[in-house]
Amino acid sequence: MSLLVVGTVAFDAIETPFGKTDKIIGGAATYISLAASYFTNNIQLVSTVGDDFPAEMIEELNKKGVSSEGLQIHKGQKSFFWSGKYHNDMNSRDTLATELNVLETFDPILPDSYKNPEFVMLGNLTPSVQKRVIEQLENKPKLIAMDTMNFWMDIALDELKETIAMVDVLTINDEEARQLSGEYSLVVAAKKIIAMGPKYLIIKKGEHGALLFNNQDEAFFASALPLEEVFDPTGAGDTFAGGFMGYLASTKDISFDNMKRAIIYGSAMASFCVEKFGTEKLMDLNDLLIQKRIKQFVDLVQFEISLSDK
């Protein structure tokens, strides 16, 4: 089934305790598309780049089933650039540079062939831009998911709430869930956020895993895989979302039980992402590696318990 992906396609320069990169390819929509491409080959990308963005990367995406018809390439302009440095705990980071460039005037125009997707993943962007995407859809998709961040809660809360009310799934991290709800308990926070409109909330806790809540008071928790080495956390949340939505799009099943599986697939994809800098690890995975990784998740968390065995 078709998956519409909207978000940044960009350059990053990253410094972690393990090393430092020059300008490498990044951007939420890049990570989302790459992760989803292991599940579905019908991905419609909407984004914006300058003519400094390498044609080879666009070809790579095309080969992986990602249509670039909706990728705007602006002659004589530069792609969005972000640079950041992670602290020793890898959980916090300082932004060293943000150059919006083409992103400043980004209008997410959907080609006609993109207007009837069955699944939509809106990467982190100005909430009004995310909303503009939804407004161009001709039919109600099976599922619209959006990611956002604390920055929009600080400067565009009303706009953000409007957009949140239009989607089915919201993905944010634990601190953002607390900020958006004003509640410390994630259980209470989830209830308040779901009351804002989305049927599902995914709270990403990084190395501590992810929580899925629905509007029926059901909850699911997926551990992150404890890794020997986390090399670069950049893009892990987007990769998670890409795996999650790619799996849902490939199985065409949005039951809560299937969403649980999708969370596990998303977590597996994120666990690969952080093992190398940038998108490197996502470029050449395969089904066998993914299945092996899923098996590790199963082994890590599954247990047999009889409710009368004590």
Interface with its own copies includes 300 (CB under 8 A)? Answer: yes
Nearer to its own copies (CB atom), residue 130 or residue 271: 271
| Phi, psi values for residue 116, rounded to 5° | -130, 50
Compose the 245-274 pattern: x for residues touching its own copies by CB under 8 A, - for all others. Answer: --x--xx-----x--xx--xx---------
Interface with its own copies includes 54 (CB under 8 A)? Answer: no
- Report d(CA 60, CA 289) in Å as an integer: 20
Q: 72 Cβ partners below 8 Å, 6+ apart?
A: 47, 48, 49, 102, 106, 109
- Compute, in degrees rounded to 10, the torsion defined by CA atoms 154, 208, 220, 152: 10
How many residues comprise the chain? Answer: 310
Interface with its own copies includes 153 (CB under 8 A)? Answer: no
Nearer to its own copies (CB atom), residue 135 or residue 304: 304
Interface with its own copies includes 227 (CB under 8 A)? Answer: yes
Interface with its own copies includes 39 (CB under 8 A)? Answer: yes
DSSP 78: -
DSSP collapsed to 3 states, 200-230: EEEEECHHHCEEEEECCCCEEEECCCCCCCC
Nearer to its own copies (CB atom), residue 77 or residue 223: 223
Please, are residues 85 and 18 in contact by the beta-carbon 8 Å criterion?
no
Interface with its own copies includes 146 (CB under 8 A)? Answer: no
Nearer to its own copies (CB atom), residue 32 or residue 264: 264
List residues near its own copies by CB under 8 A. Answer: 39, 88-90, 184-188, 205, 208-209, 211, 218-223, 226-230, 247, 250-251, 257, 260-261, 264-265, 287, 290-291, 294-295, 298-305, 307-310
